[in-house]
Copies of this chain bind each other. A is one copy, B any other.
């Protein structure tokens, strides 16, 4: 199996193609967003994360250097943050997911954030507009365990009220590809 992707520069011993500049994509906007090739590259990597740069160049029918350059640029621009392992909380023993909306008393924001950040079961925290002030995504080992987690989360001065919604199903797991396609199409 082939190694992995990584940043670097041009050059590359790869597939066929006569010689001299053959194809020449319309050149990416470079300015903002991504172009079609970037989109195809991201999609390819998302579908088969373990293929290397060379394999990508073959699939995409472009030179290896091009793929490497695109990858470097995407990472530099922050479009691609990294290739970290996707860990499934359920497989770790935390199959219950819930969203809690918290109401914070004035001026306690900083402390509450620090507190929430210290709880392992808190996977995500957003400050929001609307009824509540914050929204956290939490996981637990079971519904019973969820109670323990919630107690720990809301048991802190500064949190005046909270409401929790347990996630039952997940018809659309976190995805980004459709958006990538749309951005690339633009």
Total copies of this chain within the assembly: 2
* Distance of A180 Cα from B168 Cα, bound (Å): 23
A24 interface residue (CB < 8 Å to B):
no
A19 interface residue (CB < 8 Å to B):
no
A63 interface residue (CB < 8 Å to B):
no
With contact pairs A4-B50, A166-B128 given, residues A85 and B83 touching in the complex (Cβ less than 8 Å): yes
* CB <8 Å contact, B165 and A124: no
Would you list which residues of chain A between 29 and 72 have a CB under 8 Å from chain B?
32-34, 42, 45-46, 49-50, 52
A80 interface residue (CB < 8 Å to B):
yes
A107 interface residue (CB < 8 Å to B):
no
Partner of A121, one of B94, B130, B179: B179
* CB <8 Å contact, A52 and B3: yes
* Distance of A174 Cα from B89 Cα, bound (Å): 12
CB closest chain-B residue, reference A77: B91
- Inter-chain contacts of A182 with B (CB < 8 A): 120
* Distance of A65 Cα from B137 Cα, bound (Å): 37
A151 interface residue (CB < 8 Å to B):
no
Partner of A86, one of B3, B84, B124, B129: B84
* Distance of A122 Cα from B175 Cα, bound (Å): 8
Known: A78-B88, A80-B85. 6 other contacts (CB 8 A): A2-B3, A4-B50, A80-B86, A92-B180, A93-B186, A117-B171
6 smallest CB-CB distances across A and B, nearest first, come from: A3-B3, A4-B4, A125-B172, A120-B178, A81-B86, A130-B165
Interface CB pairs A-B, < 8 A, 5: A3-B52, A42-B85, A80-B88, A93-B183, A99-B99
